[in-house]
């Protein structure tokens, strides 16, 4: 809707503001103007009529009427003179009036009381307006009549008309100025917004390559930047999701193919010895375990992704958690002839975390260390550094090539696909570990030397007030 456009709203507001300022200013100017002129004319009339009245008042009584007539005749000013009964006895320059007519009774009464008269008179033939001022002619306490002096208000009316015209012009000017401002604003403000709206709609439709052109660094510019960032994030999210789903189907299909294939071999009795049969059964068993692990991992990851994972956060002694995890992993390590050593700096502070998730992290790392180590052992160290707890897990295994290190926390990333498969990995373990560590405010780093071993270092925040040592004191 056109009325809903920001430019129309802004333009309307600007025009309204102009009018709000201009109208009262115009009104005041007109008032001041007309008041000033009116007073000028009034004062002039008052002075003149008072002056004539004065002159006439001093004339001898017998001569008063002829003198009044004579004065009117000589006068260039529009005036008329009435006697004490209100009858017009002399006129100068007022064609409307006739000698011998009477002015209204109230005026005669006012004059007889010695008071002046002030009125606006409209000439019947021309509709011209006059300002009339009548002064009583008073001599020794008697009112002999009155002198009325008239001045045309045409000049004032014309000037006022001019002022009104000028104000109207100013108003029109303001209107067009506002229109101009609105036009410029529409270019500056509304165009980028329209562009952004179009871009946002395109992005919503799935065209994630859409970008808004950045033209400024103000709020509109940062909005455009935000839209671009959003498009970029969505694009990355879509790409990783696509890749993720492709990986899932691939990773799930492989063990199922194995299970299917070997189950068929067994069903059709296509083996030659009991030993061969056991071998096939153990493959089916291993692949089923792998499958269920993978499904469990995927379930965890999807919960993490949706933010639905609920952490039971409490103050935990991570040393105890680590000891529990090592205990669980020991059987597996022993089977490979590996030793797990734990070295803890005493009095480690408590960590605010989820005990079960912490166990999951440690078991995952220990599992990997055992899986990718053939001889030597696994060394776990725990110590405090400032307000943090550090946990290092080092093995003497096959290590990870340096160029692969940045990717090992990625989902489904496995160093040498065949090697991991041979060890029964899913490629999801470290991704889950990293997510869980970060969810609990921690951090994980890895370093490795190929053929020598791998070291994972975890950092968790803590506070000194809650340290076990201080609690005991
Ligand atoms: P997987 O289930 O395949 O082990 P992870 O996500 O746990 O998946 O690990 C990713 C990859 O990192 C593994 O495929 C493995 O090659 C490598 N990796 C992990 N831990 C170690 C380790 N301790 N020693 C050597 N390689 C490791």
* Separation of alpha carbons 46 and 44, rounded Å: 5
Query: What span, in angstroms and rounded, lies between the C-alpha atoms of 91 and 81?
Result: 7
Q: Within a domain: residue 77? A: yes
16-46 pLDDT per residue, tens? 888 888 888 888 888 888 888 888 888 988 9
User: What are the b/e assignments for 182-202, b being 16+ CB within 10 Å?
Assistant: beebbeeebebbebbeebeee
For residues 206 and 472, the model is more confident at 206
Look at residue 198 and tell me if it is in a domain: no
Residues 41, 82: one domain?
yes
At 65, the pLDDT band (50, 70, 90 cuts) reads confident
3-state secondary structure of 134: strand
Residues 76 and 150 in one domain: yes
Give, for ligand 1, the residue of 414, 419, 431 to mutate: max count of ligand atoms closer than 8 Å to Cβ.
Answer: 414
| Residues 64 and 131 placed together within one structural domain of the fold | yes
* Ligand 1 near 366 CB (within 6 A): no
* 416 CA: nearest ligand 1 atom: 16
Ligand 1 touching residue 467 (CB < 6 A) = no
Q: What is the pLDDT of residue 383?
A: 96
Q: Is 430 in the pocket of ligand 1 (CB under 6 A)?
A: yes
Q: What pLDDT, in 10s, does the model give residues 393-443?
A: 999 999 999 999 998 998 888 887 666 566 667 788 999 999 999 999 999
Inform me whether the pLDDT recorded for 61 exceeds 80. Answer: no
Place of tokens 């408590």: 350
Among 372, 418, 434, 444, name the best residue to mutate to test ligand 1's pocket (greatest count of ligand atoms within 8 A of Cβ). Answer: 372
Determine the average pLDDT of the residues in 103-127: 88
The residue whose C-alpha atom lies closest to atom 21 belonging to ligand 1 is: 368
Q: Is the per-residue pLDDT at 103 higher than 70?
A: yes
| Distance between CA atoms of residues 391 and 389, nearest Å | 7
Task: Take residue 428 and report the two structure tokens written for it.
Answer: 């999801």
- Decide: 396 in ligand 1 pocket, CB within 6 A: no
423 CA distance to ligand 1 middle (Å): 9
Q: How far is the CA of 427 from the centre of ligand 1 (A)?
A: 7
* 162-to-18, 42, 92, 173, 459 alpha-carbon distances in Å: 21, 21, 31, 16, 84
Q: Is the pLDDT of residue 464 over 60?
A: no
How far is Cα 325 from Cα 8, in angstroms, rounded to an integer?
68
In whole angstroms, how far apart are CA 210 and each of 57, 76, 140, 224, 232? 98, 87, 102, 12, 9
* Residue 453 CB less than 6 A away from ligand 1: no
pTM over 0.85: no
Looking at the structure, do residues 332 and 460 belong to the same domain, yes or no? yes
Largest CA distance in the chain: 167
Q: Whose CA is nearest to atom 4 of ligand 1?
A: 425
Interval between CA 365 and ligand 1 midpoint (Å): 9
Q: What is the span of the domain harbouring residue 154?
A: 2-158
Predicted confidence band at 473 (pLDDT cuts at 50, 70, 90)?
A: very low
Q: How many whole angstroms separate alpha carbon 363 and alpha carbon 129?
A: 107
Average model confidence (pLDDT) across the chain: 86
Residues 119 and 259 grouped into a single domain = no
Q: What is the DSSP letter of 190?
A: I
Cα(430)–Cα(363) distance, rounded to whole angstroms?
Answer: 11
Q: Quickly state the pLDDT bin for 62 (edges 50, 70, 90).
A: low
Whole-number Å distance between alpha carbons of 108 and 143 = 10
Distances in Å between the Cα of 132 and the Cα atoms of 38, 70, 101, 123, 336 are 11, 21, 17, 12, 127
The verdict on the CB of residue 368 being under 6 Å from ligand 1 is yes
Final residue before a domain boundary, out of 277, 303, 329 = 303
Which of 79-83, 111-115, 244-248, 380-384 shows the lowest mean pLDDT across its residues? 244-248
Same structural domain for residues 241 and 153? no
Token reading at 71: 């004065």
- Same domain for 105 and 246, yes or no, is no
Q: What is the pLDDT of residues 67-95, one digit of tens each?
A: 777 777 777 778 888 988 899 988 887 87
Residues 244 and 138 in one domain: no
- Separation of alpha carbons 91 and 70, rounded Å: 10
Among 244, 290, 364, 368, which residue has the most ligand 1 atoms within 8 Å of its CB, making it the best to mutate?
Answer: 368
> Of 120, 136, 158, which residue constitutes the final position of a domain?
158
Tell me the C-alpha distance between 373 and 333, whole Å: 9
Question: 367 CA distance to ligand 1 centroid (A)?
Answer: 9
Cβ neighbours of residue 373 closer than 8 Å, sequence gap 6 or more: 336, 338, 395, 396, 397, 398, 453
Say whether both 343 and 414 belong to one domain. yes
Residue 122 contacts residue 129 (beta carbons within 8 Å): yes
CB distance 414 to ligand 1 below 6 Å: yes
Domain boundary among 123, 158, 193: 158
Burial 291-329 (b: 16+ CB within 10 A, else e): bebbeebbebbeebeeeebeeeeeebebbebbeebbeeb
* H-run or E-run covering 245: helix 219-267
| Cβ–ligand 1 contact at 429 (below 6 Å) | yes
**For ligand 1, what atom is nearest to the CA of residue 456?**
23
pLDDT, tens digit (0-9, with 9 covering 90-100), for 351-373 = 999 999 999 999 999 999 999 99
Task: State pLDDT tens for residues 129-167.
Answer: 889 999 999 888 788 889 999 888 887 788 788 888 888
Ligand 1 pocket residue status of 132, Cβ below 6 Å: no
* Domain-located, residue 176: no
Reduce the DSSP state of residue 149 to 3 states and report it. strand
CA pseudo-torsion sign 157, 163, 167, 173: positive
- Please give the number of the atom of ligand 1 that sits closest to the Cα of 427: 8
CATH code of residue 328: 3.30.565.10
What pLDDT is attached to residue 60?
A: 67
| 239 assigned to some structural domain | yes
Structure tokens at 326: 């090592």
Half-sphere exposure of 19 (CA within 13 A, CB side): 9
Q: Let me know whether 28 and 106 are in one domain.
A: yes
pLDDT digits (tens, 9 = 90+) for 443-458: 999 999 999 999 999 9
Pocket of ligand 1 contains residue 71 by CB under 6 Å: no
**Counting atoms of ligand 1 from 1, which one is nearest the CA of 432?**
6
237 lies in some domain:
yes
CA of 325 to the centre of ligand 1 (A): 18
Q: Both 28 and 76 in a single domain?
A: yes
CATH number of the domain residue 129 falls in: 3.30.450.20
Whether residue 284 is found in the same domain as residue 323: no
How far is it, in rounded angstroms, from Cα 257 to Cα 113? 128
Instruction: Tell me the CA–centroid distance for residue 368 and ligand 1, in Å.
Output: 6
């Amino acid at each position: 809707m056109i009325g809903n456009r920001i430019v129309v709203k802004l333009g309307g507001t600007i025009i309204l503001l102009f009018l709000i300022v201009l109208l009262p200013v115009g009104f005041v100017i007109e008032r001041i103007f007309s008041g000033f002129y009116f007073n000028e004319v009034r004062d002039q009339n008052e002075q003149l009529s008072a002056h004539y009245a004065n002159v006439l008042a001093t004339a001898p009584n017998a001569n008063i009427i002829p003198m009044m007539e004579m004065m009117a005749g000589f006068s260039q000013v529009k005036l008329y003179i009435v006697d004490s009964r209100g009858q017009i006895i002399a006129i100068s320059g007022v064609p409307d009036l006739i000698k011998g007519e009477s002015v209204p009774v109230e005026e005669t009464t006012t004059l007889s009381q010695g008071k002046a008269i002030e009125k606006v008179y409209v000439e019947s033939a021309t509709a011209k307006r006059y300002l009339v001022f009548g002064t009583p002619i008073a001599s020794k306490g008697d009112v002999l009549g009155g002198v009325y002096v008239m001045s045309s208000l045409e000049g004032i009316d014309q000037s006022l008309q001019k002022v009104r015209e000028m104000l109207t012009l100013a108003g029109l000017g303001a209107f067009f100025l506002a229109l101009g401002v609105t036009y410029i604003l529409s270019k500056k403000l509304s165009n980028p917004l329209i562009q952004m709206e179009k871009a946002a709609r395109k992005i919503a439709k799935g065209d994630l390559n859409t970008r808004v052109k950045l033209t400024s660094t103000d709020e509109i510019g940062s909005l455009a930047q935000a839209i671009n960032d959003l498009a970029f994030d969505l694009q990355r999210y879509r790409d990783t999701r696509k890749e993720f789903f492709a990986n899932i189907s691939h990773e799930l299909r492989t063990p199922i193919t194995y299970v299917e294939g070997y189950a068929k071999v067994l069903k059709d009795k296509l083996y030659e010895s009991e030993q061969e049969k056991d071998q096939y059964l153990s493959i089916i068993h291993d692949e089923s375990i792998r499958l269920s692990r993978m499904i469990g991992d995927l379930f965890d990851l999807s919960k993490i992704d949706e933010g639905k994972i609920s952490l039971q956060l409490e103050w935990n002694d991570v040393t105890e958690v680590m000891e529990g995890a090592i205990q669980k992993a020991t059987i597996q390590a022993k089977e490979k002839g590996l030793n797990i050593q734990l070295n803890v700096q005493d009095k480690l502070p408590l960590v605010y975390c989820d005990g079960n998730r912490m166990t999951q992290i440690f078991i995952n790392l220990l599992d990997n260390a055992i899986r990718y180590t053939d001889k030597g052992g696994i060394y776990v160290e725990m110590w405090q550094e400032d307000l943090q707890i550090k946990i290092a897990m080092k093995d003497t295994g096959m290590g990870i090539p340096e160029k692969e290190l940045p990717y090992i926390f990625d989902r489904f990333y496995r160093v040498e696909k065949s090697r991991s498969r041979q060890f029964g990995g899913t490629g999801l373990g470290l991704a889950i570990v990293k997510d869980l560590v970060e969810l609990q405010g921690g951090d994980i780093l890895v370093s490795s030397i190929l053929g020598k071993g791998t070291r994972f270092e975890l950092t968790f925040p803590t506070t000194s007030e809650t340290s076990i040592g201080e609690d005991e004191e």
